[in-house]
A and B are shown apart, each in its own frame.
Chain A
Amino acid sequence: MNKYKTELMVGVFIVLTIGAILLLALKVANQTMTNAGDTYNLYAKFDNIGGLKVRSAVKVGGVTIGRVADIHLDKDDYTPVVTLSISTAYEGFPDTSSVSILTSGLLGEQYVGFQPGFSFDGVEELKDGDYLQDTKSALVLEDLIGQFLFNRGGKDE
């Protein structure tokens, strides 16, 4: 085995290792967007976002059109603001569209369900930076049970 080839192969080995570490650091453990393509941002205020996470999917009828880019609390009225990063391939949703936080399956992850509204005269298209007015919060199981018990209590009397 000549010296040059040995050193070359060890070099390749070390580079492979660094590549694997980078993959683990950036793609597995850290938060980095790997999504290709241009996006535009829409904002939505919810009362309760439940278990929604950054990078959760935004879906129209089951088709993923974007991702949740950021979640933060509005400093004025203390409600969560969700930034939706939508692919520019899906532009021009009407202003009357609504978003709700849904769960896929019984135990699945939560995602943003986007419901395009009707477009008729006088309805503008949603543009980058717009707020969605019509939002429905995540269902919180404890609240549901509480309401159910409260209703039953009322009926009995």
Chain B
Amino acid sequence: MNLFQHIGRETIGKVAAIGRAGLMLFGALASLPKLKNVYLTVRQIYVVGVQSLLIIVVSGLFIGMVMALQGYTILVDYGAEGSLGPMVALSLLRELGPVVTALLFAGRAGSALTAEIGLMKATEQLSSLEMMAVDPLRRVVAPRFWAGMISMPALAVIFSAVGILGGHLVGVDWLGVDAGSYWSLMQSTVEWEKDVINGVIKSLVFALVVTWIAIFKGYDSIPTSEGISKATTETVVFSSLAVLGLDFVLTALMFGIE
């Protein structure tokens, strides 16, 4: 009997959490954004976007370089090293750009968002805002959400571009693939709508999921130091799993059966 009660309680708890998460997002976004809140969003873009730039650029560069190195050693056996450009560009634009950016973003910015909002709750800053008749959902949650939604696709695009340049660095400048075939085969293979736009759509979906999880985990955390540490861990774990799972679904929808 205890087992069933346990399962029941867990299920009700999970469903209630999903409901609370939906209500929180609805409360934050349903109201029209105020003009004076634009600066709050810009401030958050600085925190989650600009400050993530270094890790994104460095990982993009090295992932592009590694792919060029690995791809070259395999392709050169078939005399097909000219196909290095399409290989690097397609894997970055379709998969690695959005996914790795989302994973890094969850670790770099998502955990920070959770900890910040969790600590605001623990130190009762959120309650104080409500006491002053300021809606914390609109004042605290909404700017952070929009900042995540704007920053992550931007970071993913930068990641892919830097990765392609990194692949050029290793493939063309170091290993001696013809620069013309690197770019020309890439241009004839990569399609703007199918590859680039779909990659951006993917990163928009990941941005929604990661930022939502990060903000909700902070907003819903148990206001103790232990609770905040648990919420931060859960943010990184849940959003990474959600990103990887959703990526498969999105890939199947976008590039799967046609």
A30 and B45 contact, CB distance less than 8 A: no
B79 and A107 contact, CB distance less than 8 A: yes
B180 and A64 contact, CB distance less than 8 A: yes
Who on chain A is nearest to B78 by CB? A107
B154 contacts which chain A residues (CB < 8 A)? Answer: 13-14, 16-17, 20
A109 and B82 contact, CB distance less than 8 A: yes
- 1/0 per residue, CB under 8 A from A, across B55-91: the answer is 0000000000000000000000011101100000100
A23 and B184 contact, CB distance less than 8 A: no
A17 and B45 contact, CB distance less than 8 A: no
A141 at the interface (CB under 8 A from B): no
B178 contacts which chain A residues (CB < 8 A)? Answer: 57, 64
**Which residues 104-121 of A have a CB within 8 angstroms of B?**
104-109
Contacting residue for A24 out of B39, B80, B161, CB 8 A:
B161
B157 at the interface (CB under 8 A from A): yes
Who on chain A is nearest to B180 by CB? A57
**Interface SS of B by simple majority:** helix
Determine the interface band of chain A, counting residues with CB < 8 A from chain B. 35 or more
B42 and A28 contact, CB distance less than 8 A: no
A55 contacts which chain B residues (CB < 8 A)? Answer: 180, 183-184, 187-188
B39 contacts which chain A residues (CB < 8 A)? Answer: 3
B4 at the interface (CB under 8 A from A): no
A151 contacts which chain B residues (CB < 8 A)? Answer: none
Determine how close the nearest CB of chain B comes to the CB of A40; give it in whole angstroms.
18
A29 and B196 contact, CB distance less than 8 A: yes
Which of B20-28, B46-54, B133-141, B227-235 lies at the binding interface?
Answer: B46-54
Residues of A within 8 A of B (CB): 1, 3, 6-7, 9-10, 12-14, 16-17, 19-21, 23-25, 27-31, 34-35, 53-57, 64, 67, 104-109
A-B contact pairs, 14 of them (CB 8 A): A7-B42, A10-B46, A13-B49, A20-B161, A28-B89, A28-B190, A29-B187, A29-B190, A29-B195, A64-B178, A67-B180, A107-B80, A109-B83, A109-B181
Give 9 nearest A-B pairs by CB, closest first. A105-B79, A55-B184, A20-B161, A17-B154, A29-B192, A108-B79, A20-B158, A20-B157, A6-B46
